[in-house]
């Protein structure tokens, strides 16, 4: 279902519709069996829904916001283990492909076997347990609640504060990652980039042409930071599973080399994306929104 506001639709109505659609799109793949693809799609829709709620956080009130986001976070966390298992295997293949000229054919076979086994075990654990049932119950309950979501304001007033806040938090996270390049700071920045990307997608019909370059940079930035986080998760697994084995140590060095490159590119791109102050950024988006809405 399209993930954006409609031109003649009130913001209140649009938010309720978007929330219910995201929940339905999260439930649908889980009804067709448990596998990594279904889990990925469900988690993706939950993240979009949380981005919508962040956009109107001030309008729905702290209590309602906390209640809904806590429930959605609980649902997503029940699916995290299988998603992480899939991410680690994909990140492994990415590292091997990136350094293929330095490596022989099929390098680090023990690590790959362990990653595939981990994915299979997590898939079986999710299938045999009650997590999927619990997730579906949470999402169904939330769907009933979202249909009656109350908002204090309507129009641009309802979404401008949320947009400004998430842009500002992303700007702060960018600066923190540049000053102290820890995995935690880069992961926090990644979350804020994904939130802003989802929120700009919501109001995409209102985006002026001059913002298209910015939003393409935001897409690229999200990919760089996402790949960095995937490598962090993979590195943790290798360290825990293989300790200081010579082959594992070499592979971890390659991971760190790749992460350093990704982080350098992300910081450079972030410097191009975040020069505008939050007030001005939101005013520009707001003007285009109002033109589009008539």
Asked, for residue 166, whether it belongs to a domain, the answer is yes
Asked, for residue 171, whether it belongs to a domain, the answer is yes
DSSP 72-100: HHHHHHTTHHHHHHHHHHHHHHHHHHHTT
CA angle 98, 102, 107 (to 5 degrees): 80
Distance of CA 44 to the CA centre of its chain: 7
Asked, for residue 172, whether it belongs to a domain, the answer is yes
Asked, for residue 259, whether it belongs to a domain, the answer is yes
Q: What are the tens digits of pLDDT across the range 178-206?
A: 999 999 999 999 999 999 999 988 886 65
- pLDDT recorded at residue 91: 97
Question: Residue 3 gets which letter from DSSP?
Answer: -
Indicate which CATH number applies to the domain containing 210.
1.40.20.10
The mean per-residue pLDDT over the stretch 144-172 comes to 93
* Residues belonging to the chain: 294
Q: What does pLDDT average to over the chain? A: 91
- pLDDT recorded at residue 196: 94
Asked, for residue 2, whether it belongs to a domain, the answer is no
CA angle 48, 51, 52 (to 5 degrees): 90
**Within 13 A of 258's CA, how many CA atoms are on the CB side?**
27
- Print burial letters for 159-173: b (CB count within 10 Å at least 16), e (below 16): bbbbbbbbbbbbbeb
Rounded CA Rg of the chain: 21
Is the pLDDT assigned to residue 243 strictly greater than 90?
A: no
Asked, for residue 3, whether it belongs to a domain, the answer is no
Number of domains in the chain: 1
Asked, for residue 89, whether it belongs to a domain, the answer is yes
| Predicted confidence band of residue 31 (pLDDT cuts 50, 70, 90) | confident
- pLDDT recorded at residue 158: 93
Question: Residue 277 gets which letter from DSSP?
Answer: -
Integer angstrom CA distances of residue 264 from 10, 267, 277: 42, 5, 23
Integer angstrom CA distances of residue 74 from 32, 82, 118, 134, 142: 21, 15, 22, 10, 12
C-alpha torsion sign, points 40, 80, 26, 164:
negative
Asked, for residue 211, whether it belongs to a domain, the answer is yes
Query: What count of other Cβ atoms lies within 10 Å of the Cβ of residue 9?
Result: 13
Is the pLDDT assigned to residue 233 strictly greater than 90?
A: yes
Residues spanned by the domain of 64? 11-293
- Asked whether 274 and 174 are in contact (CB, 8 A), the reply is yes
């Amino acid at each position: 279902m399209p993930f954006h506001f409609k031109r003649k639709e009130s913001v209140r109505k649009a938010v309720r519709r978007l929330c219910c659609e995201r929940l339905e799109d999260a439930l649908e793949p889980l009804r067709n069996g448990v596998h990594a693809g279904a889990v990925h799609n469900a988690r993706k829709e939950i993240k979009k829904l949380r981005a919508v709620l962040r956009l109107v956080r001030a309008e729905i009130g702290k209590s309602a916001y906390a209640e809904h986001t806590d429930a959605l976070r609980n649902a997503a966390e029940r699916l995290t283990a299988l998603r992480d298992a899939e991410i680690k295997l994909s990140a492994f293949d990415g590292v091997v492909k990136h350094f293929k000229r330095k490596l022989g054919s099929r390098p680090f076979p023990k690590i790959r076997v362990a990653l595939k086994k981990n994915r299979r075990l997590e898939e079986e654990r999710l299938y045999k347990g009650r997590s999927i049932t619990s997730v579906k119950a949470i999402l169904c309950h939330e769907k009933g609640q979202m249909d009656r979501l109350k908002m204090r304001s309507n129009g641009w007033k309802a979404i401008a504060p949320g947009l400004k806040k998430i842009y500002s938090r992303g700007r702060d996270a960018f600066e923190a990652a540049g000053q102290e390049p820890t995995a935690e700071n880069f992961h926090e920045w990644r979350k804020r980039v994904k939130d802003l990307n989802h929120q700009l997608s919501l109001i995409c019909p209102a985006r002026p042409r001059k913002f298209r370059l910015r939003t393409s940079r935001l897409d690229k930035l999200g990919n760089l930071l996402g790949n960095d986080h995937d490598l962090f998760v993979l590195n943790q697994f290798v360290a825990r599973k293989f300790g200081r084995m010579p082959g594992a140590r070499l592979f971890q060095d390659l991971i760190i080399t790749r992460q350093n490159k990704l982080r350098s590119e992300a910081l450079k791109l972030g410097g191009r994306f975040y020069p505008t102050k939050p007030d001005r950024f939101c005013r520009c988006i707001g003007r285009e929104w109002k033109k589009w809405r008539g």
